[in-house]
Amino acid sequence: MHFIEVEHLNKSFTVRKKREKGRFLREKSIIHALQDVSFHVDEGELIGYIGPNGAGKSTSVKILSGILTPDSGRASVGGLTPWTDRKTHVQHIGVVFGQRMQLWWDVPIIDSYRLLKDIYKVQKGAFENRLEELTDALDLKNLLATPLRLMSLGQRMRAELCGSLLHSPRLLFLDEPTIGLDAVSKLKLREFLLKENREKGTTVLLTTHDMEDIAALCQRVMVLGHGKKLYDGQLPELLSRYDTQRTIHVRYDAPPDLSSLPESCTLQKDGDNFIITYEPARIPTSDMLSLLQKAGAMQEMTAQSQNVDLLIARMYREMDL
Amino acid sequence: MNTLKLYLHSMKVLLKSQMQYPFSFCLQTLAQIVMEAGEMLAVLLIVNRFQALNQWTGGDLLFFFGMMSISFYLTECFGRGITGNFAALIRSGNLDTFFLRPRGIMTQVLCHAIDPRRIGCIAVGVAALVLGCQQSQVQWNGMKIFLFTEAIFFGMLLILGLFLIEAVFAVHSVKSIELVNAVTYGGRSACQYPIDAYPGPLRVLFGTLAPFALVLQVPSAVILGKPLLGIDGVAAFLCPLSGLVFFVIMYFVFQKAMKFYRSTGS
């Protein structure tokens, strides 16, 4: 038996449109947020959950965390059904929303944490130890007496994360945790999540649009689009399907003669730089290089694979999302 | 017991956050005192002009006014989670957060807000009550103190119940503020005066559907020694229980609405 089991989950919402002129009733339309979604997750996995806006990611997180009840299908987390055993279930999960703060806004965060201790009925000793451990790892020691409203976004995110882990959940849902964070904060956050996952064995389900988060953290990704599961597996494998192009930036001493380049590659000029995009499957890189060398004396050259975001955009396009 | 502890702890934290803005708190409390004192003045003016309203003297009217103010504003102070803006709780997504924590939804709704500014209104209510007692020469005894406490407490439950109607409407995404306000704030304004001053339909409304008269006025009248609608003795002690009944019914309707919320969601 797997830690999280989701079988044939369906969920749709009825949206009432604005009443059109001359009509008595408003038109209704049904949005299928989830259609027959199934997957399994084992304890200790770190999974990335991606898909364009409106793909059904939040809906599935809401169902798995017990906020919503699905129309049909089965889900169990650690043997519990989230929407029927809500209180027992949420005792073992933590949820962080990047766009919404869950701690109390105007009081020092330590007061929020003490309140959370009472809400989750955490024993005093266990609470103190865990708080010590988390404030240490998240660098919050000096901020405990600061109210949330006076913190920067990065500090707030760390404070939220600490609050969601105080009761030592087995499963952590992260909904865009790095949104709006600077590079240093992002790196720190990722480092912390990896550590938490490795040392505590916490299962993490990460929803994000930041592919660097996914690449840095997750061994496995699930792609959701139009409420359907489109892919479930390793990230590199997924990318290799779309990662068919390479780009070469090259600069010559004198204006080169690039007329011999084949039709299948594209050529752009950016100041003194030439940017050539080609598909290694059609023109082997060695051929490409010798062509470029023949064109003139090269001063500088860099070869790049495509940006992950571009790959994802291409994937969404090809999947018609 | 644990729930009560959590509630008290929450109130402490919320009070602390309110006190982050002491100047604003003082000004708003002052404004509330002025507002409520204005309402009390209206009662005094009526008394000045007419001496009495049916069988009720000026002191009696101040007593009724005080009972309503104390009960209503204690509810607004400690039950702000429900009497506040429930629709905003849904729109902001904070209601979702409550589902993620291992406590009852009603408990968490109650624990998430407090309105200590209402202390001003409560003070005005107490002043009216004391003044009313003096003018009407109320002789307090153990039975009357019990009746008083009972009326205030079940009055609070009734008011919470009435505000829960609004919460239930909000879950079904129906804008209903005006309609429900007619029985909440409208009920408060109307039932500051004894209901036998009103025509039939209003008596029915506040005697049965939103039973302010049963919960607050029947005990008040007994304390004043002039039973309302002839209700006296044991019956006067039973009448306030209608507030409890109302709350319990609305509690279950609210739980049902939370199930509906979970199956439709945001």
pLDDT at position A133 is 92
pLDDT for B99: 93
What are the start-end ranges of the H helices in A138-223?
153-165, 183-200, 211-217
CA atoms within 13 A on the CB side of A228: 6
pLDDT of residue A260: 81
Residue A223, phi then psi, degrees to nearest 5: -105, 130
* Mean pLDDT on B193-201: 85
Cβ atoms of A98 and A154 within 8 Å: the answer is no
- Chain B partners within 8 Å of A119 (Cβ): 6, 101-103
**Between the CA of residue B49 and those of A312, B43, B46, B52, B57, what are the distances in Å?**
79, 10, 5, 9, 12
* Domain parsing of chain B, residue ranges: 2-15+22-258
**Across the interface, do A65 and B16 touch by the CB < 8 Å criterion?**
no
Of the candidates B2, B13, B100, the beta carbon closest to that of A115 is on B13
- B16–A107 C-beta distance less than 8 A: yes
**A6 touches B257 (CB < 8 A):** no
Sequence-distant (6+) residues with CB within 8 A of B66 are B125, B126, B127, B128, B129, B130, B131, B132
What ipTM was predicted for this assembly?
0.85
Question: What band does B174 get if pLDDT is binned at 50, 70 and 90?
Answer: low
- In angstroms, rounded to a whole number, what is the distance separating the alpha carbons of residues A229 and A137? 35
Tell whether B256 is within 8 A of chain A (Cβ).
Answer: no
Q: What's the rounded Cα separation, in Å, for the pair B195 and B228?
A: 9
Percentage of chain A exceeding pLDDT 70: 97
DSSP characters for A46-115?
EEEEE-STTSSHHHHHHHHHTSS--SEEEEEETTB-TTTSHHHHHTTEEEEETTB--S-SSSBHHHHHHH
Instruction: Give the mean model confidence (pLDDT) for residues B54-75.
Output: 91
Identify the pLDDT of residue B177: 67
Determine whether the interchain pair B93/A100 forms a contact, defined as Cβ–Cβ distance below 8 Å.
yes
Asked if residue A107 lies in contact with residue A150, where contact means CB atoms within 8 angstroms, the answer is no
- Give the span between the Cα atoms of A4 and A38, in whole angstroms: 10
- Rounded Cα gap, residues A160 and A144, in angstroms: 12
How far apart are the C-alpha atoms of B244 and B250, rounded to whole Å? 10
- Residue B46 is predicted with a pLDDT of 81
Below-70 pLDDT ranges, chain A: 18-20, 321
- Suggest the residue from B100, B114, B258, B263 to mutate for an interface test with chain A (most A CBs closer than 10 A): B100
Chain B closest-CA separation from residue A181 CA (Å): 22
pLDDT value at B225 more than 60:
yes
Backbone angles phi, psi at B141, to 5 degrees: -145, 175
Using CA of residue B219, residue B221, residue B227, residue B230, what is the dihedral sign? negative
Find the helix or strand (DSSP H, E) in which A38 lies: strand A28-41
Tell me the count of A-B CB pairs closer than 8 A.
69
Residue B50's pLDDT band (cuts 50, 70, 90): confident
Residue A72 tokens, joined: 């049909």
Chain centre to alpha carbon of residue B147: 17
Is B8 in CB contact (< 8 Å) with chain A? Answer: no
Pick the closest to residue A208 from A85, A48, A16, A54 (CA basis): A48
Q: Which of A191-205, B63-77, B182-196 has the lowest mean pLDDT?
A: B182-196
Q: Measured in Å, how far apart are chain B's first and last C-alpha atoms?
A: 33
Per-residue pLDDT, B78: 94
The structure tokens 């299928």 sit at: A32
Asked if A154 and A181 count as a contact pair (C-beta separation under 8 A), the reply is yes
Predicted confidence at residue B266, as pLDDT, reads 57
Whether the pLDDT of residue B172 is over 70: the answer is: yes
Note the pLDDT of residue A83.
Answer: 93
